[in-house]
Amino acid sequence: MITDSEFQHIVSYMQKNYGIDLSQKRVLVGGRLENYLARNGYGSCAEYMAKVEHNPGGPEATDIVNALTTNHTYFMRESAHFDYMQKIVLPWARQQAASTRDLRIWCGASSTGEEPYTLAMVLLDYFGLEHSSWDTKVLATDISTRVLEHASRGIYLKEDVDPVPSKWKQRYFKQISDEEYQVKDVLKNELIFRQFNLMNPLPFRKKFHIVFLRNVMIYFPNDTKHQLVQRIYDCMEPGGYLFIGTTESLDRHKIKFQYVQPSIYRK
């Protein structure tokens, strides 16, 4: 059983290192970590946390992130964003990047891959036969190595793939069993998966035209959220679009982005 002081230690560690506020998640933390501690032979949570903090780059530190981050997503989620992207954002971005044909897109909370794969399908569909002369690869990052491994395998249950439009399902997925589909290479090659902590300095050399950062800032305190949004603003092209989750909002007085409509902002 995790004690009150051990729980507070975990809350402090996760907020300091990853920006994630777990202070109201006592049941979740206990349920997920107690199983882990028992499976791995730890006598106490304090013993485990000592190991985590002694070796921040070690497997124990990776495991705590994998255990305590929540990764709920699905194909075509909040599909109005993808419609807006096709009708409004991509025509602007195509004109903006016409000279270099280098369109830069970042999906900053890629989870198990459904969102960045949906983005890649939208891009392939929009550019059509012209696509081969453009670089539209999507950078897909997440803090959890566990979900990134799932995403890079690209294997999903049949019911997971059901929301995908049938023309895209035929073009970009192959059925590998009665219950499973696998992403074809033509789609998988459009993504670059990387592990990345949003609390770290943003290391990008070139600025982005489009950033999707949906349904992740709900776990951050307001100060952390606004600091992150400021750093994202600085690494975007003028006129670039930021998409956040439809249940999320930003305080317009504390950010430089222009409000376009709920969950869509522009530099």
Residue 134: which residues within 8 A CB-CB, separation 6 or more? 97, 101, 102, 103, 127
| pLDDT for position 48 | 87
Task: For 77-91, write each residue's pLDDT tens digit.
Answer: 888 999 999 999 999
- Of 18 and 188, the structure prediction assigns the larger pLDDT to 188
| pLDDT for position 70 | 67
* Residue 174 backbone dihedrals phi, psi, to 5 degrees: -125, 140
Strand partners for 175: 181
Does position 66 have pLDDT exceeding 80, yes or no?
A: no
SS3 32: helix
Domain ranges of the chain: 4-68, 80-266
Task: For 163-189, write each residue's pLDDT tens digit.
Answer: 899 999 999 999 999 999 999 999 999
CA 193 to CA 197: how far, in whole Å? 13
| pLDDT for position 62 | 80
Spatial CA neighbour of 245 closest among 224, 225, 223 = 225
| Mean pLDDT along residues 212-231 | 90
Q: Are 119 and 164 in contact (CB under 8 A)?
A: no
**b/e per residue 188-226 (b: at least 16 CB within 10 A):** bebbebeebebbeeeeeeeebbbbbbbbbbebbeeebbb
Does position 72 have pLDDT exceeding 70, yes or no?
A: no
Q: Which CATH code for domain 80-266?
A: 3.40.50.150
| Local confidence band at 3 (pLDDT 50, 70, 90 cut-offs) | confident
H helices present in the chain, as ranges: 4-18, 26-39, 45-54, 59-68, 80-84, 90-96, 114-127, 145-153, 158-161, 166-172, 185-188, 222-234
SS3 105: strand
CA 220 to CA 251: how far, in whole Å? 14
Q: Which CATH architecture has domain 4-68?
A: Orthogonal Bundle (1.10)
